[in-house]
Chain A
């Protein structure tokens, strides 16, 4: 574990315990995030990215369960902590921003009341201080503090998302975990929210884990990028390097699935097929049946993690690809 790591995930495995057997949604994931860093996690629906994120935040609901692994946050293993010990860390030291702010904000309480709930739980501060701090964080994300008295349904989609981010910053946490915070917004609002998140991060110095299915979002802002497929991380490394030269065929497929504004016009290809059925134990590479490059050995050998070109890639033909792209 690196010296300045704020978050270090080791061998994290999550199963959904269903009646037809356990479904392994997250399979032996290793991640590391240094203080103030930005880690993007991308993958399509069903890749296990949201499950991984909630497993890190210790917010899994049954039937999902952490089967093994460690989540070290500031040197403490969150998996072994009880809910009462976790409660003191929550929001003060790591906070969460969820996918759809309409559903993640309590519809019957005002914004101010929901901020007050969090404040009251974590410190004996006066009502006046709470109001002052709540107004402060709202102003930080560009919302007029009069909206402390507003209810979630009275705000626009973009405002709700920003209000959620403001709420996550009430205590200046070291880590903010974000689950597709922009997915319910239009592209223009997405862009400005991403810029705002990046700016706040630079100013306040918190680390971010950012989950999304849209690779183009993290291209400009992320330091590190993890690409998830079928519960495993298939490629992990510096964002810029992955964007300029994807080494895993799945990453390459994802990059081809969205248009670029600057590049020449081209046909978008996407990735044919759908994610693997995680109930089945797959012998070889999980991506093999969708992979344009797959050979015979791919369906037999589970690809080990290989260190190449400053990143980790799970593909047995990675050396071949690297030299070809080279």
Chain B
């Protein structure tokens, strides 16, 4: 338990450091947003000092707060989830926009990340266990080839085949826009139907990495004495595979899985772009192309926090799965 407390303490310090960097970095840059905007208008015609003043009022630069006062206010705003007004979706708040896009991304990218990890791990484990067998000679090479394809190309191919030529599945958006969003069967069915193509393309292209690393880990573990010992004890095959080989082989992959989970909130930018999916990746792209600083800042902060939380969660999970990490001081 002391270990967990220490990890949580470490997490809080890292979080504070990330928040602080996020605040100070933009302020260390020369100029201010008002000047930046002014210089952009400058190319279309001269603007007077009044315009600059107007912009400064708009951005709240005339309050003449000290940097520390601003910093405290910023920390308070972070705690309450107040990230300002989005330029792109004016006059909606950044928080509101993110809250709208978040479920889509977590639903699509989050679920596929978990599914990919589970299937990749099982394929890797079973392939290595029956090394040189049928499964081992088909699945790992197949998925490695699939993950070698450029994602957009693979996704466009899938759209062309299943969406256009065969016309089986919708190719764009998160749901049928003629429906009124609500918690009812028709709408949910439409959401699921729209998620099939993006989900399958994500799973197929990212399965290879997990399967291959798990296979390699397992092959190393299978040569360990405790696996031979388990055989000597007469323990049945599947139990040795899970409890002796699998339990030990999965450990190195957990950290990678944690980081992958953290990056879920950054959305799969390519996926969401190709499929016009209303998630955070799409939003991030929007924010960048519209120079929507509040939105960008909030999104980057969200990604940082999510990665930190995921790594913390994996650390704590590791403590439960691997006794050796428990009493090491």
Contact = CB atoms under 8 A, between A and B. Distances in A.
B226 A121 contact: no
B324 A87 contact: no
Nearest to A87: B234
Given A91-B232, A91-B233, A108-B247, A100 B324 contact: no
Given A117-B243, A151-B324, A153-B324, A105 B226 contact: yes
Interface string A221-254: 0000000000000000000000000000000000
B231 interface: yes
Q: What is the size category of the interface that chain A forms with chain B?
A: 20 to 34
Contact of B327 (A92, A121, A154): A154
Nearest to A113: B243
Nearest to B327: A154
Interface of B is mostly: helix
A105 B248 CA distance: 12
Interface residues of B, number: 24
A121 B235 contact: yes
A153 B327 CA distance: 10
Interface in A65-95: 86-92, 95
Given A87-B234, A103-B224, A108 B239 contact: no
A106 B232 contact: no
Given A103-B226, A151-B324, A121 B233 contact: yes
B248 A108 contact: yes
B233 A117 contact: yes
Contacts of B243: 106, 109, 117
B33 to A, nearest CB: 53
Contacts of B323: 107-108, 110, 151, 153-154
B228 interface: yes
A117 B244 CA distance: 11
B234 A96 contact: no
Interface of A: 54, 57, 59, 61, 86-92, 95-96, 98-100, 103-110, 117-118, 121-122, 151, 153-154
Given A90-B234, A107-B248, 12 more contacts: A59-B231, A61-B223, A89-B234, A95-B232, A98-B228, A100-B225, A103-B225, A106-B247, A108-B251, A110-B323, A117-B230, A117-B239
Interface of B: 223-226, 228-236, 239, 243-244, 247-248, 251, 321-324, 327
